[in-house]
Amino acid sequence: MKFKIRYIAVLLINILLFGGCQKRVEKKETRNTAFIHNAMGKLTDVMVHDIFSPPVASRIYAYSSIAAYEALLPLYSNYRSLSGQLNGLDSLPKPEIGQEYCFPLASVHAFLAVGRTLTFSGDMIDEFEPVIYQQYKDLGISDDVYDRSIQYGAAVATKILEWAGKDGYKETRGFRYTVTKDPAKWKPTPPAYMDAVEPNWYKIRPFVLDTCSQFKPPVATSFSMEKGSKFYKEVMEVYETTKNLTEEQKAIASFWDCNPFVMHQTGHVMYASKKISPGGHWMNIAGVASKKAKADLMKTVETYMLVSISLADGFISCWDEKYRSAVIRPETIINSAIDENWQPLLQTPPFPEYPSGHSVVSNAAAITLTSLYGDSFSFIDSTETKYGLPSRNFKSFQHAADEAAISRLYGGIHFKPAIINGSVEGKQVGTLVTTTLKTRNQRISHKSN
């Protein structure tokens, strides 16, 4: 009897000691989604500062978000690892059994560690980290739990970076696209006449796609400037549309510009203005949606992760066709054959025309977000306010994707088939991601303590 009483007493003490500590470490405040939202915002700021191309930016978002997801996973038993589900990703580090962790802290650390490694301006993240980590400490996390959580996040980040290092990115550096004299093919466009961006991006290992050409779009319209030809009509559609834009159409084009390469020329001086990439725009929409839905921490991180993968595979799929068909841009053909003084509303980005990258990735992201939050999820998109543009209201993610796609016609940088076929391609990518990746043991939202 005394033994039983002593056993119960020891058991109660252990529950009080370890259970109380666990409650203190993993209390609701540590699961505040503001931490990961702020970290995502900082990573976007770094990428805008470093002027990463849209495909490269999508890669950075994806690996960083996957690291955040995997480091947070042990706290949520009804979520699954992506190990074995993403191409080339095998087993990931596990937390030590019987030890206490603050997994939200580990998640943010893994996210920032990957982001710092894959960007140039790591000093911006170095300045940000002490501030956000101090906020965790202020919640009462003990030093040993803090150190253990940081170490676990670092271990996950190291594994993700090792995986990223085998995706073909390093092997595609330094290659340039060879411009030909073929009148149908892409050529550098004013004002900077930049080299083609990422001509070998199709060689990057996809995340979910079987191959870069899994959703190869229909063949682009055959080049012909004979009046009455299909291509001639497409050229004239861009020319006439841009000459008769309404103020609303101009606003739509500017809102979805998302061109990090915009150059300005004053006299003999040329300078760049920095803007968010298409992927960055949709990652911000992912944040807007999760905030409006009051998603808990795990669903918020899941949202960022799934959207980032859709964007990354969308760019790989899109870039595969861009450099296979190498279609000339409207600006080049209109200036040479229709009107030498014509200029598009938006500055033409430095890569081939077909298909429209924004159409592909916007639809991929919209399909993914719809799978998470529904097809009638209205929201206010304030992404561009920091770049001097007003917010826009959307009744659904697909509404936003449709507007992003048609903005390329209003902006004068794409022919209609690139928009239509790019949208279909993007939906195929998004559907593949949402139906292939199994993130939950049960399709229910986790409720925080």
pLDDT at 206: 98
Q: Are residues 210 and 96 in the same domain?
A: no
Q: Are residues 259 and 307 in the same domain?
A: yes
| CA pair distance 127, 102, nearest whole angstrom | 22
Torsion of CA 53, 57, 58, 64, to 10 degrees: 170
Non-local CB neighbours of 374 within 8 Å, separated by 6+ positions: none
Q: Are residues 386 and 248 in the same domain?
A: yes
Whether the full predicted model's pTM is greater than 0.85, yes or no, is yes
Looking at the domain assignment, is residue 110 inside a domain?
A: yes
Q: Which helix (H) or strand (E) holds 100?
A: none
- The average pLDDT across 148-176 equals 97
Say whether pLDDT at 340 is over 70. yes
| CA pair distance 142, 100, nearest whole angstrom | 10
Looking at the domain assignment, is residue 159 inside a domain?
A: yes
404 phi, psi to nearest 5 deg? -60, -40
Amino acid at 379: F
Q: Are residues 228 and 268 in the same domain?
A: yes
Looking at the domain assignment, is residue 278 inside a domain?
A: yes
Non-local CB neighbours of 11 within 8 Å, separated by 6+ positions: none
Query: 264: pLDDT confidence band, cut at 50, 70 and 90?
Result: low
| CA pair distance 316, 355, nearest whole angstrom | 12
Say whether pLDDT at 332 is over 70. yes
Counting the structural domains of the chain, the total is: 2
For the chain, give the percent of residues with pLDDT over 90.
87
Looking at the domain assignment, is residue 8 inside a domain?
A: no
Question: Could you tell me the residue range of the domain that residue 87 belongs to?
Answer: 23-164
Q: How far apart are the first and last CA of the chain?
A: 37
Q: How far is CA 383 from the centre of its chain?
A: 14
pLDDT at 274: 76
pLDDT at 441: 82
Strand partners, 263: 272
Q: Are residues 413 and 278 in the same domain?
A: yes
- Spell 103-133 as b/e; 16+ CB within 10 A means b: bbbbbbbbbbbbbbbbbeeeebbeebbeebb
pLDDT at 19: 35
pLDDT at 14: 40
What are the tens digits of pLDDT across the range 17-70? Answer: 333 333 334 567 899 999 999 999 999 999 999 999 999 999 999 999 999 999
Q: Are residues 374 and 229 in the same domain?
A: yes
What are the tens digits of pLDDT across the range 399-438? Answer: 999 999 999 999 999 999 999 999 999 999 999 999 999 9
| CA pair distance 94, 114, nearest whole angstrom | 18
pLDDT at 271: 61
Looking at the domain assignment, is residue 10 inside a domain?
A: no
pLDDT at 47: 96
For the chain, give the percent of residues with pLDDT over 70.
90
Looking at the domain assignment, is residue 99 inside a domain?
A: yes
pLDDT at 237: 98
CATH value at residue 426: 1.10.606.20
Domain boundary among 105, 130, 164: 164
**Structure token pair of residue 236:** 């004239």
pLDDT at 18: 34
- Average pLDDT of the chain, as a whole number: 92
| CA pair distance 82, 5, nearest whole angstrom | 46
DSSP secondary structure letter of residue 390: -
What are the tens digits of pLDDT across the range 200-213? Answer: 999 999 999 999 99
- Higher-confidence residue: 10 or 308? 308
pLDDT at 269: 66
Q: Are residues 153 and 213 in the same domain?
A: no
pLDDT at 446: 34
pLDDT at 27: 60
Place of tokens 């979520």: 79
Is the Cβ–Cβ distance between 44 and 283 less than 8 Å? yes
Calculate the alpha carbon distances from 196 to 236, 261, 354 in Å.
25, 12, 13
